[in-house]
Structure 1
């Protein structure tokens, strides 16, 4: 290992002290006198791996100590800058207070090296901490942004799934309601049709049963006049009955069982027979050529009560039939009444 050569010894001249050195007004021990000291092989022992400067004698510093202080300050600044660039936390280096350095520089800034060192250390540390803080904050913001994006996607997907489920549920409910409504409508229609069919069947059965009790007054005929026809031939201005045209002498039979309440001449009606049924309905058989019953006689369905003729106000032989419910003067349509009894003229 290399070592420093011994420097040539210089004559020792004690430093002269001025009474107002550095403006203290009195003598201070740290102001000198100093002696210049250069290390030699005897004064410095080599240390494995690095050199170590031996402790200075007398507490004084020469020009070399000034250089050493400035070098340390530069090293500290360089260390701070390196720490800022490498991203590693800097090592804080404290610099001892060296008033002798300031005194050698010849100004009042004896604390400048220590302040500069502390300032550089602080700047390096603050810069590194700022970089760490900025990098951590950026990483944190990036992670939070990714998390928020993932959460937003998850919420959007969940919302879409919920909307689809709600739409499917609504569609299912609508389909079920529509099917139920259609089923109810079909059931109601089927019920209505069934009721109508049952009612029709019951009416047919009733009319069939009535048809056994009622019959048409003439077997062979032609309908030549209906109820309500207008014309001057009738005193009322319209036809008041139903005309069955048939040859003179054709048998006239009782439509239903009842009692003969009138039998004889009736003016414009010619020879007329009135058959009163048990419910009070009067059946008028007019324009007969002859009458085969008398008043008060009981007849049954199909009994002969007279014959077709052309008596009264007529234009030819026919049976003029009128129906008067409860014996009232104004009659009703015989066609409708006969159909209500299961008969079709």
Structure 2
């Protein structure tokens, strides 16, 4: 940067006089008279002609009247250029100043003020950053960068949403598959359980059938060629208890009566409304009563086997026709149970 010459300073008044005193434009001697107080005026401080005159300002737009102000203007322009560079974000533009000639040679009282303007204009120009040309481009670049960032963020968010959707879909598919597997396993388990239960039921039925078959060899019906005329529990005036207490096998008089199972004869003889009655006690304590017999073929204490003849069908006691009245008393109890159900439990079908 080119600096200006310093402005002339006020005359220096020494505390003591010297033989040779410096004055403006030469040296002062004591012969020139006494010292006087110096009051600067426009005429007294006016520089010699052709030395320091500057062109008059044009409408307030020209240079200042002193080189100092000119230097300040240059510095201000340079500073403004730096500020413009800082504000716009662009690299500062270099400022070139030509070598200035002596300011006094450029300015003289003889020349018109208008002639000095071209010379001063060649002082150099302060070139500011090309704000007018570069500002739109800079704004466009900044907008494009912002748009790119926004689009990148949108794409990133979209990718995250798609990833989350894919994960959710995968989780839903896995859950659905797990549910399907669990359902299939449950159905298979239910089928297996049903098959097992069915197999167990079939096995139980087979076992029961085998047991009944075996019991059938051990148990037998009390008579043959019969017809069931009255069942257990029927109500009527014919029975003193008000209901039928046994199972009636109607058959011709003299039809054979058999022991339904092996046991011991514990009673044989007449028993009022039962007529001739025989009691067979089985090994488990169950008593079988045979009533209305026409005759008895066994005696008390006699051991009999399944199918042995113990008497014959008759019509003795309180009857309306020839038949066998059969009662079953578990454990020798006074009240009996259904003889038909008991016989079926032994594999017999009366």
The equivalent residue for 2:194 is 189
The equivalent residue for 1:230 is 235
* TM-fit CA distance, 1:93: 3.5
Distance 2:171 2:230 in 1: 72
Range moving further from structure 2, 154-163 or 136-145 = 154-163
Contact 1:254 1:304 in 2 (8 A): yes
Matched, 1:219 2:220: no
Distance 2:213 2:49 in 1: 155
The equivalent residue for 1:178 is 183
Range moving further from structure 2, 172-181 or 131-140 = 131-140
Per-residue CA deviation, residues 136-159 of structure 1 (Å, 9 max, x unaligned), is: 211211211232232233223322
Q: Which residue among 142, 147, 165 is the counterpart of 2:170?
A: 165
Q: Which residue among 139, 151, 159 is the counterpart of 1:134?
A: 139
Q: Which residue among 52, 58, 64 is the counterpart of 1:31?
A: 52
Contact 1:89 1:128 in 2 (8 A): no
Distance 2:320 2:157 in 1: 103
The equivalent residue for 1:45 is none
* TM-fit CA distance, 1:216: 0.1
The equivalent residue for 1:337 is 342
* TM-fit CA distance, 1:218: 0.7
The 3-state SS of whatever aligns with 1:168 is helix
Distance 1:133 1:28 in 2: 52
Contact 2:53 2:107 in 1 (8 A): no
Q: Which residue among 288, 298, 301 is the counterpart of 1:296?
A: 301
TM-score normalised by the chain length of structure 1: 0.69
Q: CA RMSD in A?
A: 3.3
* TM-fit CA distance, 1:162: 1.7
The 3-state SS of whatever aligns with 1:31 is coil
Distance 1:318 1:336 in 2: 20
Kindly tell me the number of residue pairs found equivalent between the two proteins.
Answer: 267
Distance 1:315 1:287 in 2: 11
Contact 1:248 1:310 in 2 (8 A): yes
Q: Which residue among 232, 242, 246 is the counterpart of 2:247?
A: 242
The equivalent residue for 1:312 is 317
Label 1:115 to 1:227 Cα distance change in 2 as closer, same or farther (>3 A).
Answer: farther
Contact 2:257 2:311 in 1 (8 A): yes
Q: What 5-or-longer segments of structure 1 have no aligned partner? A: 1-18, 34-87
The 3-state SS of whatever aligns with 2:267 is strand
Between structures 1 and 2, the one with greater helix share: 1
Q: Which residue among 189, 197, 212 is the counterpart of 1:207?
A: 212
